Amino acid sequence: MKISALLSSIVLGALPGAIAAPGFFERESEQLAADIIVRALPNAPNGYTPTNVTCPASKPTLRSAAKLSSNETSWLETRRKKTVTPMKDFFSHISVGGYDVGSYIDKHSSNMSNLPNIAIAASGGGYRAMLNAAGVVKAFDSRVENATTKGHLGGILQSATYVAGLSGGSWLVGSIFINNFTSVADLQTYGNGQVWALGDNIFEGPKTGSIHALDTVDYYKDLAEAIESKRKAGFDASITDIWGRALAFQMYNATEGGIDYTWSSIAETQDFIDGNYPMPLVVADSRNPGEVLSSSYSTVFEFNPWEFGSFDPTLFGFAPLKYLGSDFDDGSISSNGSCVRGFDNAGFIIGSSATLFNEAITELGSNSSSITAWAEGVLKDVFESVDKADDDIASYKPNPFYGYNKAISPFASQTTLDITDGGEDGQNIPLHPLIQPERAVDVIFAIDSSADTSLSWPNGTSLVATYERSLNSTGIGNGTAFPAVPDQNTFVNLGLNTRPTFFGCNSSNITGPAPLVVYLPNYPYSSQSNTSTYQMTYEDWQRDNIITNGYEIATMANGTRDGNFTACVGCAILSRSFERTNTDLPDICTQCFTNYCWNGTTNSTTPNEYEPTDLLASSDASFMMPTILSSVMAVSVALFTLV
């Protein structure tokens, strides 16, 4: 069967989830949605086309990864102070055994390094991952109605320092931050021009009358014109350019899919400068020269608002994101070299983290009879110019790290840097930038929407990959530390993938500074949220059901599964801070850690097929037939095999 036919079967076979629960899970008011109008900055000089500009007086250069950038260090001083009030607000509705956390925060607020440093990480997994993580983030957002009431966790997002996304998780991060740190509720409810109109097939483009106001013909023409313009300017146009442009139409509230919005513009928005919200990070992998597939020891790259690069010893450097596309050689631009801006298009960045879907976009033309002959010719040229073995890469040419760190870097001799899907090395949760010692993160809320099992549920594979990588302390691990985790069979046999599980509760058992990890695996509370990674359309009701299910995952069904769970989350947040300040944990935290921390027990026997049923099962959800689900997952597996 052709891949296009496989994709069609997945798209047309979109599986519904359970009916959404009533009450506060209903969409928020249109008044809240008005906040989404303000966006990041459309500051690219020439739309999608990277363009020569006058270099600043001090020409941009690369820097060593030995420490954080001066931009990040300066921003952290501002942001960390801005987390004090929301953290106190959070603990005003989260009781930790009667302990006065507010007074503790006040006591140590003069030294922010003593207070909790929080991060959130959203895994890959296509739209399933985006929507499941969206539900968790919605639960963490104090702007959401009822999120700060008993049994809820609103305020964690406002208290966080970093939010990282990978592949499908990067789509969520991009949607939130390019749309000026909007809420998930707004992305769901923006009137007739809602941003997440996922019932519009990405192969066909947005419906006429949406915020983008394009029919299918104009959609293809827009994609083709952008790609052709980039190619004529002398830059590679990989399939990721097409995929990223298509994604932007679904993720960004801007005409023409935000064609002139850049990722680096986030750093220039006033709210971000003022530290009013966390720092977004997007994670991708490299493909080393000569490799066809990425390995577990591939170099992990991050995009932050200022830079693009890696802490890994195979590169150990960062380039200024705003000037990607410039003529860097050995870390500098020559006296007669040109500076370029506009390469870091916001759609291209999230597309670079999700190149797994390039195979899908190559079928784009065959899925529509409305494509114009001219647009078809341009897109066909791009498809045919890419070797089949390289169709899942994003082409970064010129390579900003050309000639840089020649003694250690396999990329120094390459004129083109190949960037691939962030999950190709097995680390499908973007933990890598958050365990860097320089960032001193205390707790990571790790949202796992991976399709590890035959029925597309997670089984801890990503945590295992990150843990095993950290053990290579003299090589690719490069001084990072990560809590011990068991094998995947143990995750399933002990039910560690059926509920939140804490790893690293006892830091004395870890060699080196490592955060406590709150693992939040995808699990069916009210909806079978294990849709195929390659499902490309979601009707509003199914989108909202998965988001609701994600909310329930984060809160353990709003505290109904465990009335002490919110207190336990509070304990996880405070744990490392209490260690630094020699403060005894409240008694309730001892109980919490007994209930939620992995205690080192293993059971590595091969488990039966993992097929959980809805925890909050109702007759409304009974139509989700396992046989239908299994057939769709089999199609997904077949597609992976063909890719």
Query: Are the C-beta atoms of 462 and 470 separated by less than 8 Å?
Result: no
Render pLDDT for 508-549 as a digit per residue (tens, 0 to 9). 888 778 999 999 999 999 999 999 998 989 999 999 999 999
Query: Are the C-beta atoms of 134 and 171 separated by less than 8 Å?
Result: no
Predicted confidence (pLDDT) at residue 10 exceeds the cutoff of 50: no
Q: Which of 284-298, 341-355, 433-447, 595-609 has the lowest mean pLDDT?
A: 284-298
Mean pLDDT along residues 68-90: 98
Higher-confidence residue of 377 and 80: namely 80
Nearest-5° Cα angle at 423, 355 to 598:
160
Confidence at 221, pLDDT banded by 50, 70, 90: confident
Predicted confidence (pLDDT) at residue 467 exceeds the cutoff of 90: yes
What is the spatial distance between Cα 148 and Cα 117, in angstroms, rounded to a whole number? 20
For β-strands 443-448 and 516-521, DSSP reports them as parallel
Query: Are the C-beta atoms of 296 and 469 separated by less than 8 Å?
Result: yes
Q: Where are the alpha helices (DSSP H) in 109-254?
A: 126-140, 156-159, 168-178, 184-189, 216-232, 239-251
Predicted confidence (pLDDT) at residue 639 exceeds the cutoff of 80: no
The pLDDT value recorded for residue 205 is: 74
Residue from 6, 48, 15, 123 nearest 359 by CA: 6
What is the spatial distance between Cα 510 and Cα 337, in angstroms, rounded to a whole number? 47
User: Residue with structure tokens 């797994």?
Assistant: 356
3-state secondary structure 36-50: HHCCCCCCCCCCCCC
Predicted confidence (pLDDT) at residue 323 exceeds the cutoff of 70: yes
C-alpha dist (Å) from residue 168 to 215, 357, 459, 537: 25, 10, 18, 14
Higher-confidence residue of 453 and 290: namely 453
The contacts of residue 634 (CB under 8 Å, 6+ apart) are none
pTM as predicted: 0.89
Higher-confidence residue of 52 and 15: namely 52
The contacts of residue 483 (CB under 8 Å, 6+ apart) are 467, 503, 504, 510, 514, 515, 516, 517
Predicted confidence (pLDDT) at residue 172 exceeds the cutoff of 50: yes
Q: Which of 5-14, 31-40, 438-447, 590-599 has the lowest mean pLDDT?
A: 5-14
Query: Are the C-beta atoms of 465 and 426 separated by less than 8 Å?
Result: yes
Render pLDDT for 609-618 as a digit per residue (tens, 0 to 9). 999 999 987 4
Predicted confidence (pLDDT) at residue 570 exceeds the cutoff of 70: yes
CA 261 to chain CA mean position, Å:
19
The pLDDT value recorded for residue 626 is: 33
Which residue ranges form the domains of the chain, and what is each CATH number? 3-30+41-60+85-642 (3.40.1090.10)
Tokens describing residue 614: 């809805």
Query: Are the C-beta atoms of 237 and 378 separated by less than 8 Å?
Result: no
What is the spatial distance between Cα 112 and Cα 84, in angstroms, rounded to a whole number? 9
Higher-confidence residue of 237 and 251: namely 251
Mean pLDDT along residues 22-34: 37
Q: Which of 126-130, 242-246, 404-408 has the lowest mean pLDDT?
A: 242-246
Render pLDDT for 94-119 as a digit per residue (tens, 0 to 9). 999 999 999 999 999 999 999 999 99
Q: Which of 280-289, 353-362, 487-496 has the lowest mean pLDDT?
A: 353-362
Mean pLDDT of the chain: 85
Query: Are the C-beta atoms of 300 and 435 separated by less than 8 Å?
Result: no
Q: Which of 74-88, 110-124, 377-391 has the lowest mean pLDDT?
A: 377-391
The pLDDT value recorded for residue 427 is: 96
Percent of the chain clearing pLDDT 90 (strictly above):
70
What is the spatial distance between Cα 543 and Cα 537, in angstroms, rounded to a whole number? 9
Tokens describing residue 500: 């939140």
The contacts of residue 324 (CB under 8 Å, 6+ apart) are 50, 308, 340, 343, 344, 396, 400
Confidence at 404, pLDDT banded by 50, 70, 90: very high
The pLDDT value recorded for residue 510 is: 83
> 98 burial class (0-12, 13-18, 19+ CB within 10 angstroms)?
exposed
